[in-house]
Every structure is written in C-alpha cells, then in structure tokens.
A and B are shown apart, each in its own frame.
Chain A
Amino acid sequence: MATTKVERGEYSALVDLEHNHEHEHAPFIAHHFYTAEQQFDSGKLGIWLFLVTEVLFFGGLFVAYIIYRYNRPEVFVDAHHHLDTLLGGLNTIVLLFSSLTMAWGVRAAQLGDNKTTAISVLITMVCAALFLGVKAVEYSHKWDLGLLPGDMFSYDPHAHHEHHLISNYLLLLCIPFAVILVATLVASVLHLNTGKSVIGRFYGGIAITMLGFFGGVLVGVLWMAGAATDESHSSDAHAAVATDATARLVSFEVDDAAAKTPATTEASATDAAATTPAVELPVDKKLGVFFSIYYCMTGLHAVHIIGGIIALSWIFYRSLAAHWRSDYFGPVDYVGLYWHLVDLIWIYLFPLMYLIR
C-alpha cells in the first residue's frame, strides 16, 4: 500500500502542512511548542502564577502576624528589642544589591552576553549566601539567650549571659556550608586541571558563594563582639533594654489585673493591653509567640533564599555553558523574577520585625 501512488486528497493537505512545520523547530524549543515566543510566554505566565502561590503561602503568616500584633501590640514592641536592627538593615542592603545584580544579569542574557550574566548571577549568589551567614549569627545568638519560639522560650533577663564569641549553634549551622566549600574547591581544582573548564568554573563559583556565607558570618560575629564590648563598657545597654521590656510587661500584668477591678489606674500605653484575651500567661510565654512568628517567617524566607541559591547556580552553570542568546533567555528571566520576590518579602519582613515602634 505504501508503494502505491498516493492521491492528493483533501486530508493529505492537513498532514503536509504539519510536516512542513516540524522542520522549522529551533533546538531550544520544546517539541510541544510551535514558536520561541509561545515557549517564552508560557514560562513567563507560569512563573508569575508560581509567584502568586508564593505570595499566598507567605500571606497566611502575614495574617497571623497582623492578628497577634493587633491582639498584643505590647509584646511586639518589647520583643523586637531583642532583634539587632543593624544586622537586619545590613541584610536588607545586601538583598537590594543582589536584586540589582540579578536585573543586570537578565539584561546581559537578553543581549546574549553570557559572561556578564555569569558574573552578575555569581554576585547575586554571593549576596544570598552572605545574607544567610548574617542570619546564622543572629539565629545562633538568640538560641544562646533562650529566645526560642512558643513553649521553648526560656529567656531570663536577670541571668547573666556569658557572651560566647562563637556560639556552638553557629558552628553547627556552618558545618554544611563548610563541607560544600571544601568539596566544591576540590572538585573545581580537579576539573580545571583536567581541562573541563565549564564545570571547573561552576564549582569554583559555588565555592566562592560559600565563602560569601562565611563572610556574612564574620561580619555578624565582629558586630556582635563589638556590641558585647560596648555593653561591658556602657553598663550593659543591651540587657538594660531587655530588663526594661520585661519590667513593662510585668506592669501590663498588673494593669490587666487592675482593669478587672472598677478602679482605673493611669494607663499610658496600656489601653492596648486591655484587648488581650483574659487567659493570663506567664510573661515569657507571651514573648514566645512573637518569636514563633519571627522564626516561622524568617525561617521560611531563609528556605526560599536557599532555594534561590540552587536555582541561581543552575542559571550560573548554563551561563558558563553559554546557553543564552537574544531569542532564548527565558530561564534567567524566570529565576530573576523569583529572586526579586524573595527580596521583596524581606523588604516587608524587615520593618515588620525589626522596626516596630
């Protein structure tokens, strides 16, 4: 049958058209898309929808934040004194800068400049790791003090806190980064020596990223050390704030009790305290809820930073392999959008957590 002469019937025309189409496919277009434009638009819409889900994912936590802050404003005011505004501010600047380099990388990819894309993306990754390093110092310091979420909150403002320059928790957090640093350094050297320059440079980039993490740790530790010496010089300013906070909390307790009796006491900032539920909790338990929300929000954000580093290293590799051209740069654009969102969430977290007043 196949050998007989095929009559050009009406349905053959449909088939021929399709077959002509197959030959137009460029190598980077997936088989189910017809044009590069269709593929790019699909990816772009897809990533925007993904960002919508991310916003809603964080949205639940923001709602929880609003409700607890509305119910217990005094807890939030007092608890935020335990956060280091300068380190938080530093991290904000680092992330803003990383968004700039990311945008730069996207532009370079659009122009088909793979080298600039690789460098920009690498700087973005280093900034991300630096952010995590500073965050690790902040977290470990709080864990040392017992500033833990919910039920585990065990901070005692009156106890004398031995200030460890390098916390054990910090060392623990550093282990995975140190392991990756050593492994990628070795891999990088090996690959570069055997002439596989793309993979070698990729591992080298990851190693530099890990160094960024330790840079962040160094900055954080030095700042903490500076703050500690300041404390010992100027009558324990840090602890004083905390003591002050607890003292005010205790005064709320008293006011709460007083509010139940008809007699009115002078209430400066305690109007808000009257809105707290009747269930009386020990002082520290109240602060614990703030730290629950703090750890949930910043922790989830940190997980997204780590996810961002993984996605960025994929882009970094493909930039080294020179995959981008002016008609194919979608993945850089998509990861860039994700990175800007992660940045944006921190822009909201920073004032909500660190700058309460």
Chain B
Amino acid sequence: MATVTQKQQLFGHAPSNHYLDASHGVMSWIFTLDHKRIAIMYMYGVIASLFLAGIFALVLRTELYTTKQWFLTSAQYNQMFTLHGAVMVFLFIIPSVPAIIGNFVLPMMLGAKDVAFPRLNLASLWLYWLGGIFFIVVLATTQLDTGWTFYTPYSTSKSNTNVIAATMGAFILGFSSIFTGLNFIVTINTMRPKGMTWFRMPLLLWGLYSTSIIQVLATPVLGITLLLLIVERTLKLGIFDPNYGGDPLLYQHFFWFYSHPAVYIMILPAMGVVSEMLAVHCRKEVFGYKFIAMSSVAIALIGFLVWGHHLFTSGQSDLTSLVFSAITFSVAVPSAVKVFNWLCTMYRGDINLSTPMLYVMSFIFLFGIGGMTGLWLGALSTDIPLHDTYFVVAHFHYVMVGGTMTALLGGLFHWWPKFSGRMYNEPLGKLFCFFVFVGFNLTFFPQFIMGSLGMPRRYHEYAEIYQIYHQASTWGAFTLGIGIFGAVMVLVYAWFFGRKASGNPWGAATLEWQCSSPPSFHNFEHRVIVSEPYDFSSVVYDESVDGYVPVIPKREATPNQQPATVPH
C-alpha cells in the first residue's frame, strides 16, 4: 500500500505543497527564483502583449475594410501598424516559446532543480517588464510611426514620435533575451543528468540551444545599433545620418544582422516544441533524430549569413545581393529536413488527434507555405516586384503567426497539465484550434494574392481591385481573434476547474513528465530515471495514479554460481 501512496506522490496529481503552493503573496512571486514561477509570470506578459497587439491588428484590418479612409487618419494608421509590429516582435514572439515553455520545461527535461543562474533568470524577467513599461510610455505619449524596424534617417531626423522610448525599450528587451539565452546554454551544458548525452537530449533542448546561440551572438549587435540610434537622434552623431556624413545603409546592415537571425529565435524553439509534441502524440520515436537536432544548429549558423536579403532593393551592390540570395536558399535545406522528418515520424504512427496534435499539424502545413514562399522572396528576380508588397506581409505572418504562435498555443495545451495540474476541455480545445487554423488562412492567404497583384504594404488607402481580398482578410482576422481568445479562455478555465491531471497524462518519455503535476518546488522528489527521450516503452500506464509511471530498468543480479574454470 505504501508504495502506491508513494507512487501517487511522485507521479500523480500533487494535492498540495507544489510550486504554486510553496509560498504565498505577491512578493513571493515578484522575487521568486523558481524557474516555473518565472515562466508563469512571463506567460502573463506575453499573452497580454499578444492581446494588445492583436487588438491593434483588428483595428488595422477594420480600417482596411474600405478602400478609402474610414476612422483612422494616415498618421494614426502608421502609428497603429508600427506598434502592432513592435509589440508583437519584441514583447510577444521573441520571448514567447523560450521564456514560457523553455523556462518551465528546460530544467525539468534535464532532471534539474532550476536553471544554472536563477537570479539572472529573474533579472531577465524584470528587464522584460521594464522594456514593456517603455512601450507603455510610447503608447501614452506621442506613439511611434517608424515601423518596427526604426529605419534611418527617418527615425533619427524626421519622425516626431517617441522613437527614443521605443528603442530604449527594445534595447532593454534585448538584454532580457540575452540573459535567457546565456542561462539556457550554460544549463544545458553543465546540468545534464548522468546518462543524458548530447544525442539523448529531447529535441526541444536542441531547438532552445540553437536559439540561445543566436540570442547570445546576435542580440548585442542590436543593442549597440539601437544605442547608436538613440545617441544619433539626441546628439546628431553623424554615424547613420547622411546630413552629417553618416551612412543610413549601415543602420540597415546592423539592424538585419540581428533581426534576420532573430526570426530564427522566433521559429527554432517552436520547431523544438513541435518535434516534442509530435513524438508524444504519435507515440512513435522521432524519425531522423540526429538530422532534426543538427538542422536546428545548421539553421542557427546559416541564419547569420543571410541578412543582406532584406537589402536587395536598398542599393547594395548586385554581387552582394547575388551572394546573399544564394546563401538564403541554403537555409531551405535544413528547414526541409525538419519537415520531411516530421512527416516520416507521423507515417504509421499511432496518431492521437488531441488539441496539441492538431496545432502541430497546422504548424507543419502553415510553416510549409511560409517557408516555400520565402524562396520566392529569396530569389532576386521575383523579389524585386514582390518587395514591400502584401506578399511579404503574408510570408512572414505564415512563418511567425502560423509557425510560432501555433506552436506556442499547441505547447501550452500540451504542457498545461504540468503547468496547472489540470486537464483542459478537449472538444473546446479542438474547436478553437479549428477557428485559429481557418481564421489564419482566411486572413493571410488573400494577402499572397493581392501582394502578387501589386498591393504595397503599409498603405492606408488602396485601389478598388484589392478590396475583395482585404475584406476576406478582415473577416479572417476576426475569426482568428475569436480562435485565439477562445483557446486562451479554455486554458484559463482549465486552470481553475479542469479535471485533475496525473504526472504524466500523455505517456511521454521525457523527464519533465517524471514528477507530479504540478511539480513540487524542487521539481523532483526523487532521482530521475534517464532513458532515451522517445522510448515510449520506458513508461507504463498505472491505474493507481491515472497516468503513466516510469519503468525502473531491471538490474541484473551478479551471477553467484562459480565459473567453470577459475583463472589464476
């Protein structure tokens, strides 16, 4: 009997004394060093940013329902899309998967008690808040109309809006991102448990590791660029401003040296989440584990060499454009390696069409389209007419929203039992996933068409022929909005009223499922049993905990019979 109780304590639903219950009061959250609580607080911020910037998006789409000006002036329209972009990029997408799912799951996947530097982790969260405050200042004052890219010389000498507060906010958020990345690299390097070699790590850790490399290597360059921009605007340095002998193109090089790798900061952790969920919900070992792992690293490294494809029409030399175009194509190889391996994993798998799995399938479909259209934009001949049209807008939304946001939502559903100790409502989860998928495609697929017809991005008014696409897109945006809002509400409801979850409801083999749900303050009350990450025979269903428990590997007893011949 006692073993059953112990089993329930270790691998079942934690009745009390878990991390949410370990201490109480606001201060116990603001000053916590617990990676799980930090992840939860990141989640509040990230979801709030998603809703805020999502409302901006809906306002924009509503305004674009008509061909002429409706309720926003051109200046207001500029500010609205700038803030939509800036908030989505800096406050939502970049921190989303690493800061929420990564922070929560990464140490537990390693069987560790925390990340290597818990205080640095908290500092990262505080910097995130501080950066967010700067964006609130921007909203409350003269706003921002430069586009999220802050291109010079408009941002340094022309714009009358609060460029300094916005760039300061982005600068601070950059450090938040660096701290998270640094922490993850060190944690993965030094805190793996005995028996977990590099190639026995769950694929999410490979995704987060590659992401962290980019965060550490690229973000400082953004930092110095934004700092120079601020000084340029206040002191008229003359580094970017041609009026004083500066070079505005230099800004674009600096900016995209960070911001192109940054799109891989957005997508690589999402790919890791997808690999993880795919294996569990297909109950099949990941096909081509090493290829998926190494393709993450390859994307991270090649991603540093392609920034010039943002400058094809900015006046860089033809030869440079040609080289950047060629390197850009090479990113497609590791991306395709991933997609093919995912499909092969699904092939003949025992596919469980749960909500996370539906999000995974949406991800593969949408990322497929987003990735392929990237090739059109990487090719010089097609990029020239498509540059700065809605085609580009549709492309990066397919990758960022269709990719990252879908994976984030799926990941939240997948790990929600671990976060909250509760199961979500499966039919409602699926319903809103359907809304997200349909709404997303209805929003952005018409944008491919109107982009290829020549509709330029960032325009407030447009010609009659594009109206049908714009209207479809607006309807789609509201459907998508309902889907996201509904999905979040399903999760919120589950947090309070959901059915109690056991430690391992999915039967996953990675270590974060080897503890109670929600986990205790120290994550594990026992020594973890390291197995292959996708060896589903290492867990077995146990009725007493209403979930899966790890199988303790059989230890062979030492043979006790005498050998036939005794060596001398």
A292 at the binding interface (Cβ < 8 Å): yes
Q: Interface 1/0s, chain A 30-57, versus B by CB < 8 A?
A: 1111000010011001100110111011
Q: Per a CB cutoff under 8 Å, which of B2, B116, B232, B235 touches A42?
A: B116
Q: How far is the CA of A56 from the CA of B474 in the complex (A)?
A: 42
Residues 54 to 81 of chain A near chain B (Cβ within 8 Å): 54, 56-61, 63-64, 67-68, 71-72
Residues 134 to 192 of chain A near chain B (Cβ within 8 Å): 149-152
Q: How far is the CA of A151 from the CA of B209 in the complex (A)?
A: 44
Q: Interface 1/0s, chain B 493-537, versus A by CB < 8 A?
A: 000000000000000000000000000001011110100000000
Q: How far is the CA of A1 from the CA of B4 in the complex (A)?
A: 12
* Residues of the B chain whose Cβ atoms lie less than 8 Å from the Cβ of A68: 239
* Residues of the A chain whose Cβ atoms lie less than 8 Å from the Cβ of B522: 31
Interface core residue of A38, A67, A289 (most chain B CB under 10 Å): A289
Contact B526 A38 (CB under 8 A): no
* Residues of the A chain whose Cβ atoms lie less than 8 Å from the Cβ of B242: 279
A240 at the binding interface (Cβ < 8 Å): no
* Residues of the B chain whose Cβ atoms lie less than 8 Å from the Cβ of A151: 235-238, 244
Q: Per a CB cutoff under 8 Å, which of B10, B113, B228 touches A31?
A: B113
Residues 235 to 293 of chain A near chain B (Cβ within 8 Å): 277, 279, 281, 285-286, 288-289, 292-293
Contact A42 B10 (CB under 8 A): no
B224 at the binding interface (Cβ < 8 Å): yes
Known: A15-B525, A151-B235. Is A9-B250 also a contact (CB below 8 A)? no
* Residues of the A chain whose Cβ atoms lie less than 8 Å from the Cβ of B220: 53-54, 56-57, 59-60
> A40's closest neighbor in chain B, by CB?
B190
B178 at the binding interface (Cβ < 8 Å): yes
Minimum distance in angstroms from B441 CB to a CB of chain A: 39
Known: A58-B224, A59-B221, A288-B238. Is A150-B244 also a contact (CB below 8 A)? yes
Contact B239 A64 (CB under 8 A): yes
A4 at the binding interface (Cβ < 8 Å): yes
* Residues of the A chain whose Cβ atoms lie less than 8 Å from the Cβ of B231: 296
B216 at the binding interface (Cβ < 8 Å): yes
Q: How far is the CA of A11 from the CA of B552 in the complex (A)?
A: 8
B6 at the binding interface (Cβ < 8 Å): yes
* Residues of the A chain whose Cβ atoms lie less than 8 Å from the Cβ of B5: 1
B260 at the binding interface (Cβ < 8 Å): no
B191 at the binding interface (Cβ < 8 Å): yes
> B119's closest neighbor in chain A, by CB?
A30
* Residues of the A chain whose Cβ atoms lie less than 8 Å from the Cβ of B237: 149-151, 289, 292, 296
Q: How far is the CA of A60 from the CA of B6 in the complex (A)?
A: 57
Q: How far is the CA of A57 from the CA of B186 in the complex (A)?
A: 20
* Residues of the A chain whose Cβ atoms lie less than 8 Å from the Cβ of B216: 49, 52-53
* Residues of the A chain whose Cβ atoms lie less than 8 Å from the Cβ of B239: 64, 68, 150, 289, 292-293, 296
Contact A60 B7 (CB under 8 A): no
> A75's closest neighbor in chain B, by CB?
B245
* Residues of the A chain whose Cβ atoms lie less than 8 Å from the Cβ of B120: 46
Q: Label chain B's interface by main secondary structure.
A: helix
* Residues of the A chain whose Cβ atoms lie less than 8 Å from the Cβ of B186: 42, 45-46, 49
Q: Per a CB cutoff under 8 Å, which of B1, B223, B245 touches A4?
A: B1
Number of interface residues of A (CB under 8 A): 53
* Residues of the B chain whose Cβ atoms lie less than 8 Å from the Cβ of A72: 245
Known: A18-B527, A46-B186. Is A60-B244 also a contact (CB below 8 A)? no
Minimum distance in angstroms from B208 CB to a CB of chain A: 15
Q: How far is the CA of A59 from the CA of B7 in the complex (A)?
A: 54
Q: How far is the CA of A14 from the CA of B191 in the complex (A)?
A: 19
Known: A11-B7, A12-B6, A288-B244. Is A149-B527 also a contact (CB below 8 A)? no
Minimum distance in angstroms from B237 CB to a CB of chain A: 4
Contact B3 A61 (CB under 8 A): no
Contact B117 A285 (CB under 8 A): no
Contact A32 B112 (CB under 8 A): yes
Contact B6 A17 (CB under 8 A): no
B454 at the binding interface (Cβ < 8 Å): no
Contact B112 A152 (CB under 8 A): no
* Residues of the A chain whose Cβ atoms lie less than 8 Å from the Cβ of B112: 32
> B232's closest neighbor in chain A, by CB?
A150
Q: How far is the CA of A4 from the CA of B5 in the complex (A)?
A: 12
Contact B117 A46 (CB under 8 A): yes
B217 at the binding interface (Cβ < 8 Å): yes
Minimum distance in angstroms from B395 CB to a CB of chain A: 28
B118 at the binding interface (Cβ < 8 Å): yes
Minimum distance in angstroms from B53 CB to a CB of chain A: 28
Contact A41 B524 (CB under 8 A): no
* Residues of the B chain whose Cβ atoms lie less than 8 Å from the Cβ of A281: 244-245
A10 at the binding interface (Cβ < 8 Å): yes
B168 at the binding interface (Cβ < 8 Å): no
Minimum distance in angstroms from A106 CB to a CB of chain B: 20
Q: How far is the CA of A292 from the CA of B187 in the complex (A)?
A: 40
A24 at the binding interface (Cβ < 8 Å): no
Contact B235 A149 (CB under 8 A): yes
Contact B191 A42 (CB under 8 A): yes
* Residues of the A chain whose Cβ atoms lie less than 8 Å from the Cβ of B3: 7, 9-12
Q: Per a CB cutoff under 8 Å, which of A4, A54, A60, A293 touches B254?
A: A60
* Residues of the A chain whose Cβ atoms lie less than 8 Å from the Cβ of B191: 32-33, 38, 42
Interface contacts beyond A151-B235, A277-B245: sample of 12 additional A-B pairs, CB < 8 Å, sorted by A = A4-B2, A11-B526, A14-B526, A32-B112, A38-B191, A45-B186, A53-B178, A64-B239, A149-B237, A150-B236, A152-B235, A281-B244
Query: A: which residues have CB within 8 A of B?
Result: 1, 4-7, 9-12, 14-15, 17-18, 30-33, 38, 41-42, 45-46, 49-50, 52-54, 56-61, 63-64, 67-68, 71-72, 149-152, 277, 279, 281, 285-286, 288-289, 292-293, 296
Question: What are 28 A-B interface contacts by the 8 Å CB criterion?
Answer: A4-B1, A9-B6, A11-B3, A15-B526, A32-B107, A32-B113, A32-B118, A42-B191, A45-B185, A45-B189, A46-B117, A50-B182, A52-B217, A53-B182, A57-B224, A59-B220, A59-B224, A60-B254, A61-B224, A61-B228, A64-B239, A68-B239, A149-B237, A150-B241, A151-B244, A277-B245, A289-B239, A292-B239
The 4 closest A-B CB pairs, nearest first, are A9-B3, A151-B236, A60-B224, A150-B238
